[in-house]
Amino acid sequence: MKSKIGENLKKYRLARSLSQEELAAQADVTIHTISKIEAGATNDPRVLTLEKLVNVLNIKIDNLMN
């Protein structure tokens, strides 16, 4: 599931023409967090972090997991 979340996060971020830096700033998370999630290096991203990201991307959390 971790790689799917990372793949989908990157897909939706790029679809909105956002850099990792821009997404991090808008979601109030670190760029390191975004980078780790997209690379699949984070085994279990926090729900709060994912909620911040999906709010900026204007998607549902399910979109990241499926």
Q: What is the pLDDT of residue 43?
A: 73
CA pair distance 1, 18, nearest whole angstrom: 23
Look up the pTM and report it.
Answer: 0.91
Query: Which amino acid appears at position 21 of this protein?
Result: E
pLDDT digit string, tens, across residues 7-25: 999 999 999 999 999 999 9
pLDDT of residue 3: 78
- 30: which 2 tokens? 């670190």
Domains of the chain (ranges, CATH numbers): 2-60 (1.10.260.40)
Query: pLDDT tens for residues 20-66?
Result: 999 999 999 999 999 999 999 987 889 999 999 999 999 999 999 88
* Whether residue 2 has pLDDT greater than 80: no
